């Protein structure tokens, strides 16, 4: 099978698109940065919404990005089962777009946190399929609004459907139940605050994120085989 | 069509942690202001809107709040609305 083409939507203020593109290419994918005004995603096999400050994070993180023209196309593809990954600001955008439940609010300690965190793999998903449940990985975080929250009902559903994908082992930001990443019920949309794309090479001092990016590319290949050509 | 002045107050949902209010509550006693409780920090959004009557204006603003101005997962909102005073352009 030919290489998978991964769209990387770019909003005004996105700043992690190069890191994501580098990681995708490193493991054999084709990275295709696409500006947020585009509505045509023909030929796209998977989508990674990268980190940054889309539309300046005005009003709330992700609140304006959600209405960018590309998001309707992203949502449409996701309904066909195409894997969608939102990293950091990408996670915030997916929550605002109601493609993932809950919301990300300001960190509990009112501090911007930029550090490496330890994550525990809770369930299999498009970014954790290559990792064992209970496995621990070191992945950097870099955010002010990473404090995951949701109401009781949503939380019960997350637990019941195994939608919690990753937890912090040492909750750095006050997230409910130490949640670092979740997926939707269909398990093709994943959002997480940590940045696996920044930890993919030994030369950077940490390649724990490599298996996560490779897992995502695996999920994209599986979805391509399942979808009519 | 008439013009209405709108004030939307957006505040954290009761029970949702409000870290910025918590920081303010910790800072006030340091300045000697004691006995402050229940602080909340939200947003005030003001604008004018054209509408047929005040009820349809209110309904429209309510839609705006639900879809953009507030995130119901973490925020509540209230709407103050009144006929706008005539501006020089009216």
Query: pLDDT by residue (tens digit) across A83-110?
Result: 999 999 999 999 999 999 999 999 998 8
List CB contacts (< 8 A) between A63 and chain B: 68, 71
Tell me the percentage of chain A whose pLDDT exceeds 70.
100
For residue A135, with 0-12 CB atoms within 10 Å meaning exposed, 13-18 middle and 19 or more buried, which class applies? middle
The helix (H) or strand (E) run that includes residue A17 is helix A17-26
Q: B18, B20, B25, B71: best mutation site toward chain A, by most A Cβ within 10 Å?
A: B71
- Per-residue pLDDT of A56-75, as tens digits, reads 999 999 999 999 999 999 99
Question: Among A103, A106, A110, whose Cβ lies nearest the Cβ of B73?
Answer: A103
- DSSP class per residue in A42-94: TT--EEEE--B-GGGG-SSTTTTGGGSHHHHHHHHHHHTT--EEEETHHHHHH
Q: State whether the Cα torsion A81-A82-A85-A89 is positive or negative.
A: negative
When pLDDT is cut at 50, 70 and 90, the band that residue B22 belongs to is: confident
Q: A57, A58, A59: best mutation site toward chain B, by most B Cβ within 10 Å?
A: A59
**Hey, is the C-beta of B41 within 8 angstroms of any chain A C-beta?**
no
- Eight-class DSSP state of A201: B
Instruction: Please give the structure tokens belonging to residue A46.
Output: 């998977």
Give yes or no: A95 in active site: no
Q: Which of A17, A36, A55, A88 is catalytic?
A: A88
pLDDT score at A183: 98
Q: Mean of the pLDDT values across residues A194-220?
A: 97
CA dihedral A93, B75, A168, A159 (to 10 degrees): -90
List CB contacts (< 8 A) between A110 and chain B: 19-20, 22-23
Distance from CA of A47 to the nearest CA of B (A): 24
User: What pTM did the predictor assign?
Assistant: 0.92
3-state secondary structure string across A137-193: EEEEEEECCCEEECCHHHHHHHHHCCCEEEEECCCCCCCHHHEEEEECCCCCEEEEC
When pLDDT is cut at 50, 70 and 90, the band that residue A228 belongs to is: confident
Contact A174 B19 (CB under 8 A): yes
Going by C-alpha positions, the residue among B19, B66, B56 that lies closest to residue B39 is B19
- DSSP class per residue in chain B: -EEEEEEEEEEEPTTS--HHHHHHHHHHHHTT--S-------EEEEEEEEESSHHHHHHHHHHHIIIII--TTTEEEEEEEEEPPPPTT-
Kindly tell me if the per-residue pLDDT of B57 is higher than 60: yes
pLDDT score at A175: 97
**Hey, is the C-beta of A150 within 8 angstroms of any chain B C-beta?**
yes
- Eight-class DSSP state of A36: T
**Hey, is the C-beta of B69 within 8 angstroms of any chain A C-beta?**
yes
The mean-pLDDT minimum among A158-162, A209-213, B82-86 falls in B82-86
Give yes or no: A150 in active site: no
Distance from CA of A110 to the nearest CA of B (A): 6
* A211-225 core/surface letters (b: 16 or more CB in 10 A; e: else): bbbbbbbbbbbebbe
């Amino acid at each position: 099978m030919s290489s998978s083409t991964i769209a990387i939507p770019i909003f005004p203020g996105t700043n992690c698109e190069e890191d994501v593109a580098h990681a995708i290419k490193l493991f054999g994918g084709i990275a295709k940065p696409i500006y947020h005004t585009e509505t045509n995603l023909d030929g796209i096999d998977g989508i990674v919404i990268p980190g940054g400050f889309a539309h300046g994070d005005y009003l709330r993180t992700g609140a304006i990005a959600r209405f960018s023209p590309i998001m309707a196309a992203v949502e449409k593809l996701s309904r066909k089962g195409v894997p969608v990954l939102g990293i950091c600001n990408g996670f915030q955008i997916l929550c605002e777009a109601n493609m993932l439940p809950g919301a990300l609010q300001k960190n509990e300690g009112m501090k911007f946190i930029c550090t490496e965190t330890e994550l525990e793999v809770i369930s299999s998903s498009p970014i954790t399929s290559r990792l064992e449940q209970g496995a621990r990985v070191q992945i950097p975080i870099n955010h002010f609004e990473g404090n995951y929250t949701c109401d009781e009902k949503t939380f019960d559903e997350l637990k019941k459907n195994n939608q919690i994908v990753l937890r912090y082992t040492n909750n750095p930001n006050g997230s409910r139940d130490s949640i670092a990443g979740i997926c939707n019920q269909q398990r093709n949309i994943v959002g997480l605050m940590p940045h696996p794309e920044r930890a993919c090479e030994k030369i950077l001092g940490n390649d724990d994120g490599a298996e996560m990016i490779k897992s995502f590319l695996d999920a994209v290949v599986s979805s391509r085989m399942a979808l009519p050509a | 069509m008439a013009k209405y002045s709108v004030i939307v107050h957006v505040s954290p949902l009761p029970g949702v942690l409000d870290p910025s209010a918590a920081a303010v509550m910790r800072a006030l006693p340091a300045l000697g202001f004691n006995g402050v409780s229940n602080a909340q920090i939200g947003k005030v959004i003001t604008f004018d809107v054209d509408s047929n009557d005040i009820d349809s204006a209110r309904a429209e603003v309510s839609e705006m709040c639900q879809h953009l101005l507030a995130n119901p997962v973490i925020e509540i909102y209230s709407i103050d609305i009144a006929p706008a005073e005539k501006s020089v352009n009216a």
